[in-house]
Amino acid sequence: MTEAYVTQKVNNGIATIEFFHPAQNSLPGDILSKLANTITEAGYNEEIKVVILKSGGDRTFCAGASFNELITINDAETGKTFFSGFANVINAMRKCPKFVIGRIQGKTVGGGVGLAAATDYCMATKFAGIKLSELNVGIGPFVVGPAVERKLGTSGFSQIAIDANSFYDAEWAKQKGLFNHVFDSIEELDIAVHKFAENLCNYNPEAMKEMKKVFWSGTEDWDKLLTERAVISGRLVLSEFTKETLRRFE
């Protein structure tokens, strides 16, 4: 696999949405836009009862935002647009009236942690360590912060946001509430995810829709909030500190 993509397959009421990028599933703006739109459309599709979100490959789930795009940002508006990419995907998952099941096969960084946190039920392998590395490059996990904090709590979120050099293992993420189950292999993960999705398809779609509203109650301001957070990140990425840091990574 060498070309980035977003695909959706629907089978017996289950929509499997998969994204991929050859650079460890890091996501540029166009792929984030396609992902947000695909999730939104799945929410309107009456044939779909539940959504599985996964990435391609058998290693990294998501390495966060595209570094190649990050280093090209030269003005605040471009920065806001760039950081709004993950905000749009998180909000699409939040608003989707179907349960979104996360399938996390490997390590996930930055924005990828936000995607995992925005799912309604999340399963992972023992290799799925998580890291919020944004502080390392002079910004912070502002956009994904509300989703991550909602799952990990303020203490867990602040711990991994401040300790930006460390991966926290899947068991830690499970104990904090990000992952619901952790498996020893991808094969076991896939069996469990599909069995769980099949079971959900037997439930009343209207009941699940109403339950999702309850679960996400209190997040109605996220369209505005995450945009404001994107503005903060867009401003910080233009700072001399961040520009100098990014140059060292080139």
Alpha-carbon gap, residue 22 to 56, rounded angstroms: 9
Residue 247, pLDDT above cutoff 90: no
Outline where 76-165 has alpha helix (H): 76-95, 111-117, 145-162
**Of 179, 11, 31, 12, the residue nearest 105 (C-alpha):** 179
197 token code pair: 């999705």
Q: Are 4 and 31 in contact (CB under 8 A)?
A: yes
What is the CB neighbour count within 10 angstroms for residue 44?
Answer: 10
Residue 135 above 70 pLDDT? yes
pLDDT attached to residue 67: 86
Q: How far apart are CA 70 and CA 85, in angstroms?
A: 12
Mean pLDDT of 166-191: 98
DSSP state, 3? Answer: S
Q: Which two tokens stand for residue 92?
A: 């699409």
- Give the tokens for residue 59: 């290693």
Average the pLDDT over each of 35-39, 70-74, 216-220, 227-231 and give the range with the smallest value. 70-74
| pLDDT score at 94 | 98
Is there a domain that residue 15 lies in?
yes
145: domain CATH number?
A: 3.90.226.10
248 inside domain:
no
Query: Cα 143 vs. chain centroid, distance in angstroms?
Result: 11
Selection from 108, 6, 5 nearest residue 51 by Cα: 6
Q: How far is CA 190 from the centre of its chain?
A: 18
SS3 53: strand
Q: What are phi and psi of 20, to 5 degrees?
A: -155, 145
Are the CB atoms for 103 and 190 separated by under 8 Å?
A: yes
| Domain presence at residue 158 | yes
CA 144 to CA 146: how far, in whole Å?
6
Give per-residue pLDDT as tens, 31-74. 999 999 999 999 999 999 999 999 999 999 999 999 889 889 99
Helices 76-95 and 222-236, interaxial angle, to 10°?
150
Number of H helices, E strands in the chain: 10, 8
Domain that holds residue 99: 5-188
Domains in the chain, number: 1
With a cut of 70, say whether residue 250 has pLDDT above it. no
The reply to whether 222 falls in a domain is no
Residue 144 pLDDT level (bands cut at 50, 70, 90): very high
Determine, yes or no, domain membership for 208: no
Residue 98 inside a domain? The answer is yes
Model pTM score: 0.96
Mean pLDDT of 208-232: 97
* 214 within domain boundaries: no
Tell me the CA end-to-end span of the chain in Å, nearest whole number: 24
Residue 68 confidence (pLDDT): 87
Residue 116 lies in a domain: yes
